[in-house]
Amino acid sequence: MSRREDLYLADIVTAHYRIASYLEGLDFSGFQKDDLRQDGVIRQLSIIGEAASSLTQETRDAQPEIPGKLVRGMRNMLVHQYLMPI
């Protein structure tokens, strides 16, 4: 049984809000020094990419302003090229 698409969309929204909360009040320099926040953001970006990969083509086509291919590509880079420094 496949998961309902609305649940994938909810995952994307939830991950977005988690990233925003992790970064609240933090500048880039602070982010670079905070391994825990980096890990959290990377995890949430991975969730967004994975959920985006599970959306139907019809849903993707309905939102052409969202660069789905880039979102999915970012997930693949984060998961498969994890040795790259931030």
Which of 3, 16, 43, 80 is the catalytic position? 80
| CA–CA distance, 61 with 16 (Å, rounded to integer) | 21
**Catalytic (active site) residue 16:** no
Contact 15, 45 (CB under 8 A): yes
Q: Which amino acid, 35?
A: D
Which of 18, 60, 72, 75 is the catalytic position? 75
* Enzyme catalytic residues: 75, 80
